[in-house]
Amino acid sequence: MTCRRYLDFVEAGGYREQRWWSEEGWAWCRREGASAPLFWRDEGGGAWSVLRFGRRIDLPPEEPVQHVSWHEADACARFLGRRLPTEFEWEVAASVGPDGAKRRHPWGDDPPGLAHANLGQRSDGPAPVGAYPAGMSARGCHQMLGDVWEWTSSDFEAYPGFRTFPYREYSEVFFGSGYKVLRGGSWATAPVAARPTFRNWDFAIRRQIFSGFRCARDAA
């Protein structure tokens, strides 16, 4: 989801209309007093800025939106007539090739290179959508690794047959509806850790992480 598309939601009054939000999300929005993503500011006259590492810059319209909570992502997806993907839908889109075989990465089995993804803090933020055509998935999805962690609709639960390793405190204690799954890594994620199978998780209210989202819709 680009900043440009997300701005449509903001300027259409999305943060003032309860119909786009879940009950829990609307309660969070009112309690937080949210009116835009974290660090955004309305400069007037249709101009917006974003604070990035202490420096305020013009809002980059083609970059993926970041610093949005799960509730914001869910509400914006509803506004657009879409939804957040499940983590399984996300992984298929990111790693299944045209022959139906699983790939190690969206582009194939080669490790992430400079042409594939925005990883490893090579920049101070996301790259514009379409900046890494060599990293596109077989289903035509851009930048599924790097740039921003992507919220999914899935709760963080154990896979069938899960066994604790190396210790239960690493992930098992977080299983349940209190945490939502994020996929894909961000611009700050080390390439060695960026893979379509990696599961991150966080509270639905979390905004300060490098989190964004992409939308899905049901097949006709």
CATH of the domain at 83: 3.90.1580.10
Residue 123 to residue 187: CA distance in whole angstroms? 7
Judged by DSSP in three states, 204 sits in: coil
Flag whether 7 is in a domain: yes
Sheet holding 200-203, edge to edge: 200-203, 176-183, 149-156, 211-212
pLDDT at 203: 98
pLDDT at site 168: 87
Does residue 217 form part of some domain? no
- Domain assignment present for residue 27? The answer is yes
Q: Is residue 68 part of a domain?
A: yes
**27-77 tens-digit pLDDT:** 999 999 999 999 999 999 999 999 999 999 999 999 999 999 999 999 999
Backbone phi, then psi, for 201, in 5-degree steps? -150, 155
- Which tens digit of pLDDT belongs to each residue from 91-148? 999 999 999 999 999 999 999 999 999 999 999 999 999 999 999 999 999 999 999 9
Amino acid, res. 68: V
Look at residue 220 and tell me whether its pLDDT is greater than 80.
no
Q: What is the pTM of this model?
A: 0.95
Q: Considering only CA atoms, which of 215, 59, 60, 82 is closest in space to residue 151?
A: 215
In angstroms, the Cα distances linking 31 to 9, 27, 36, 40, 78 are 19, 6, 14, 18, 21
218 within domain boundaries = no
The verdict on residue 129 lying in a domain is yes
Q: Maximum CA pair distance of the chain?
A: 55
User: What's the pLDDT band for 13 if we cut at 50, 70, 90?
Assistant: very high
220 in any annotated domain:
no
166 preceded by a cis bond (ω within 30 of 0): yes
Name the nearest CA neighbour of 3 among 54, 72, 55, 53. 72
Domain that holds residue 175: 3-212
SS (H, E, C) 35-100: CCCCCEEEEECCEEEEEECCEEEECCCCCECCCCCHHHHHHHHHHCCCECCCHHHHHHHHHECCCC
Helix, strand or coil for residue 140?
coil
Number of domains in the chain: 1
**Would residue 219 count as lying in a domain?**
no
- Quick: pLDDT tens for 152-185: 999 999 999 998 888 888 889 999 999 999 999 9
For the chain, give percent helix, strand, coil, nearest 5.
25, 20, 55
- The 8-class DSSP code of residue 157 comes to -
Task: Kindly report the number of other CB atoms within 10 A of residue 217's CB atom.
Answer: 11
